[in-house]
Structure 1
Amino acid sequence: MTSFSKDTHEFVRLLTDHQELLRSYILSQMPNVPDVRDVLQEVNVVLCEKMGDFKLGTNFGAWACTVAYYTILDHRKKMKRSGFLIFNEELCLSLAADSGEKVPAALESKRRALKLCMGKMSPANRKLIEARYESHRGGMDKVVEETGRSRGSLRVTLSRLRASLRNCIRSTIAMEGGTP
């Protein structure tokens, strides 16, 4: 069994926590959605290779998006050499500049708001939401089994809880002065 250092564990946690941010950033830069998955995988490989360059306590999202930016540029060069139509370089730089700051900041704002809103929920409702979305717990069938409630009843409850969370997140972000 391989033993990882505390720093490696923290890096892996940060990398995992930022997958949505990275995917959103890459998606904002690329016209060909099927390539997003491949580029995200390549970004993850590069980030792991450059793990030693990252200083814990600094902004992982910004660092990871910078790595993603250069990986996207490499991908575009490969696509261009293969004869695929690529946006002109000026448009690509404009997309990168526009989304480079907004995507990470918006996702981080939503993440903070979600955490705050989850904290406002009753323990029973919070546990229900967490059980539904924890992949290792087995999904909806497992929640039905654990709660003894019908699938229909759970769907209605979860739908109401998600709507409540969505509203809470929007109002929290609006109070912070952001755009939900």
Structure 2
Amino acid sequence: MKKSNVVNFVLFQIAWFVAVWGAAEGYGWMGPAAVAGWVIFFMAWHRPARQDGTLLLMTGLIGFCMDSILVWSGSLQFPEWAGPAFPTTIWMVALWINLGASLRHSLKWLTGRYLLGLLFGAIGGPLAYLAGEKLNAISVLEPVPVVIAWAIAMPLVLWVERTTAGNAMDLAPPLKTTSRVHRS
């Protein structure tokens, strides 16, 4: 495994924990701060990550919509101290951006594998929510809609990753290349 993927995975996990723990303790701002901090660091350190801007925005939007529907349907609920919900919380949207920041790096093995993404989402997404529930950051009132939502959302996020890969919003100036003509 490449060093950049290991760094990406470790920072992804740390940001997830900081976001969920922060929300559980009433510091909902910690999640967006942790995700922004590691994503900025990773983009500065690993140049290819600078082309993930569109993917991050779209993943955040998908997450906002999915979690909002789950809240409106009564499947999810946030405790008062986890921060204001509009209908979802900003730290939950940050966690979706956190996921998006790993799709082309430590989670690259999922790229283009929609059925695997469906299974990964249907299992991994709800498990992450249940872990958040154990930390008192969220309440999962109806788990089946959460499973279904993640089974839909993960392949959708993988499709967004695939379709934005060639025309991603580049957050860095293009590399300057010079061609040298060797004349004998």
User: TM-score higher than 0.5 here?
Assistant: no
TM-score band by shorter chain is 0.3 to 0.5
Q: Which has the larger radius of gyration?
A: 1
Q: Which has the higher helix share?
A: 1
